[in-house]
Amino acid sequence: TILCMATVGAGLGFLWFNSYPAQIFMGDVGSLALGGLLGMLAILTRHELLLVLIGGVFVLEASSVIIQVMGFKITKKLSGEGKRVFAMAPIHHHYEKQGWSEPKIIVRFWIISVLLALVALLSPQQRRLARCDAFEDLAQPMEGCVTSRNGRDAHDRVVEAQPGGASTEAALVPI
């Protein structure tokens, strides 16, 4: 949670100075590190599918580049001349080429991001995971909840027999 709060603080500081017109830019090093952190947190909290939904604008931006490159290569192979699907990729540059102002594109993407985050919060997977987390201390896991690889809940204990009749407890490592 310290890492998450530090990232939120750094992100708010960045956004404060990155409001239109931008005074600083993040670049690839910062954005790739931030994306890796978000991916790691999604895996650790078992919300991988929700990350794709919450990061829908990022997925759209990356997909537009893939579509542009694949479309160009396919049309070049078929007709000898490559044709572009978008005026420019990633897709926010396409909208700039269509005459949209940068602030208009930014606000539209914000709206889409907020709507996707709300949909993710209301999704069945989010509710199921929240229900499983609330009852993960039960002896029997709830139906549909994820358990560790050996079938035990991550909080179960393994008792190992020691020579001389003594026993020690070793905690299972959660996955």
115-146, pLDDT tens digit by residue?
999 999 888 877 666 666 655 555 555 555 55
pLDDT reading at 63 higher than 50: yes
Q: What residue has token string 């990729």? A: 89
Burial class (CB in 10 A: 0-12, 13-18, 19+), 126: middle
Mean per-residue pLDDT, 59-63: 95
Q: Given this model, what pLDDT does residue 157 score?
A: 45
Mean per-residue pLDDT, 20-49: 89
DSSP assignment string, 64-92: HHHHHHHHHHHHHHHHSS---SSSSSSHH
70 pLDDT tier (thresholds 50, 70, 90): very high
Backbone angles phi, psi at 156, to 5 degrees: -65, 155
Output the average pLDDT for the chain.
81
pLDDT reading at 44 higher than 70: yes
Answer yes or no: are the C-beta atoms of 81 and 71 closer than 8 Å: no
Strands (E), 14-166: 157-161
DSSP class of residue 146 equals -
> Rounded to whole angstroms, how far apart are CA atoms 33 and 6?
14
In sign, the C-alpha dihedral spanning 110, 112, 114, 120 is negative
Q: Given this model, what pLDDT does residue 1 score?
A: 83
Q: Which of 138, 122, 118, 119 is nearest to 130 (CA)?
A: 122
Mind listing the pLDDT tens digit for each residue in 82-126?
A: 999 999 999 999 999 999 999 999 999 999 999 999 999 888 877
Answer yes or no: are the C-beta atoms of 90 and 99 closer than 8 Å: no
Mean per-residue pLDDT, 155-171: 48
Strands (E), the chain: 157-161, 167-171
pTM, two decimals, is 0.67
